Amino acid sequence: MIRNIAIIAHVDHGKTTLLDNMLKQSGTFRENQEIGERVMDSNDQERERGITILAKCTAVMWNDEKINIIDTPGHADFGGEVERVLSMADGVLLLVDASEGPMPQTKFVLGKALKANLHPIVIINKVDRPDSRIDEVLNEIFDLFINLDATEEQLDFPVLYATGRDGWCVNNLSDERKDLAPLFTTILKHVKPSNYDYDAPFAMLVTLLESDRFLGRILTGKVYQGIAKINSNVKVLSLDGKVVEQGRLTKLFAFSGLKRISIEEARAGDIIAIAGMEEASVSDSITAPEILEPIKSTPVDPPTMAVTISVNSSPFAGQEGTKLTSTVIKERLLREAETNVAITVKETEKGDAFEVGGRGELQLGVLIETMRREGFELSVSRPRVLFKEKDGKKFEPIEEVIIDVDEEFSGIIMEKLSFRKGEMRDMRPSGNGRTRLAFLAPSRGLIGYQGEFLTDSRGTGIINRLFHSYEPYKGAISGRRNGVLISTDKGEAVAYAIFNLQDRGIMFIKPQDKVYCGMIVGQHNRDNDLEINVLKGKQLTNVRSSGADEAIKLTPPKLMTLEEMIAYIGDDELVEVTPKSIRLRKMHLDPNERKRFSRSMRKE
């Protein structure tokens, strides 16, 4: 019998690390085989950011029973991945940190699992943490199940205690802590395989789509009924029942450990990958020719935020990238929208820019960073939320914000969020002198808040956001309070000029950085924009000075990540993204054009 399980949890609660040890202890790797940490996080950005972005499948054998395991992202920005893969699962492992307890993304992923009528196995992870509060966390988990309208059966969940990093799990804290055998035993006992009709015509639902250099498009999904055999004829049905394409099953793959292995046939209940289909996409059904109805699929939550991506039009365009035209940008974005159902792409009226919708700043930042590494040059606008019209009223996305900070910083956090139209819903101590604050705040008020929050909490605070609902428009929110410093010329920045301009604000550049007219080189310490010349060197003279020149002492520049830059810019500014550089610039580089634009905006 096959068990299909998904591992779900909040960010950094230990899903991928626990899965590493499940793979090791099930004999997936040779004893002398060298493997790194978080082997399922194979994407470069996943390793750098320490988060799971893409859902992935693997399989292990335990007591001659096959367990297909799906590792899911914990961040709500990648919720599209979670929703799709839960349709493949017969059960879920819900991981919760023994100190932090249930967090916003725990609520998000568990809510999706309960709606899919799955019965979770709860694992309280990291129980060896010195600040663990196991009994309280278990009560919080039970309350969360009740709040999410879990059924009586779902409330009767088994609880295990683990430290995934050390590779052990127990049914009771008094048991011997040696391996993950209790976890495998609980999976086989608690996750009941579905009853499948092997004699019915073949049908599978596509839940993941990826590209392979050798095989082309690979579609992964679960076989819901019948048997798939190599060379059998199939057709692809969209969600509305239309025939997308017809073809043959030329290649079938099953999962074993970290590898895909070629197979001759697959039976109902198997999670398989198919290559060779040209048009089939996520949420489509691949079926035998006689089937007329597609398999029902969970609708995906719509995007709440969008950025405009266009060609790089700066004076340095084309110097670092290889993919520069709107045509190649459009092709790449449409390809992304095909494989990532949480992304939407619309062409603007002029046709040279594209509105890309997503779940949040992180998801859009990951997409732009991926394109940058592929050689694209882009201009990216400030994110804006996507409003809805209902009965003539404007509605905006609201997010649930959970914040953990030291008590001394809670006052400034509450003040800042009230400026951003946040409403406090809860405030309680969370142990060790820390306070947990819960707010409902408009998404547009939270754009760019992450950096400010880390400054206000001296880097010790933790903020988590989760889409809550659409509510009536909350009114105007004041944006960035400081103006920017704008370069007046093109060339390389000079240390002497930067030194003399340091008292005007915070610099974003260092000596010898390339700048151009209209590029943003710093933040003004007043509320207006200021044009400055960072190329002006010291005037040389043939008269010997009476004393030696003083050494120039420069304040280190403020460096921002791509997501921070995207959140920082105003409506009349852009982020220039190239494979080697990320720069801030004004939308209109010419100062006269900028003045005309600002006058026209004031008239409106």
Annotated binding site for GTP: 12-17, 125-128
Nearest alpha-carbon partner for 207 in 10, 72, 304, 23:
72
**Amino acid of residue 83:** E
Which among 511, 532, 515, 513 is positioned nearest to 523, based on CA atoms? 532
Collapse the DSSP code of 158 into the 3-class scheme (helix H, G, I; strand E, B; otherwise coil) and give the result. Answer: coil
In this structure, how many other beta carbons lie within 10 angstroms of the beta carbon of residue 317? 15
Identify the CA nearest to 260 among candidates 208, 201, 297: 208
Residue type, 117: N
The count of other CB atoms within 10 Å of the CB of residue 49 is 17
Buried b / exposed e across 490-502, counting CB within 10 Å, b at 16+?
eeebbbbbbbbbe
Feature table: binding site = 12-17, 125-128
State residue 114 phi and psi, 5-degree precision: -65, -40
Tokens of 504: 């005007």
- CB-count exposure of residue 336 (10 Å: 0-12, 13-18, 19+): middle
Decide if 582 contacts 371 (C-beta within 8 A). no
* Cα gap 447→451, rounded to integer Å: 10
> Which of 354, 315, 312 is closest to 335 using CA atoms?
354
Say how many C-beta atoms besides its own lie within 10 A of residue 83's C-beta: 22
> How many other CB atoms are there within 10 angstroms of residue 50's CB atom?
11
H-helix or E-strand containing 540?
none
Q: 259 in helix, strand or coil?
A: strand
Q: Which residues contact 543 (CB under 8 A, 6 or more apart)?
A: none
**Contact at 8 Å (CB) between 93 and 7?**
yes
DSSP state of 479: -
R_g of the chain computed on alpha carbons = 27
Here the tokens at position 237 are 């049905």
Under DSSP, is residue 565 helix (H, G, I), strand (E, B) or coil? helix
How far is it, in rounded angstroms, from Cα 51 to Cα 373?
18
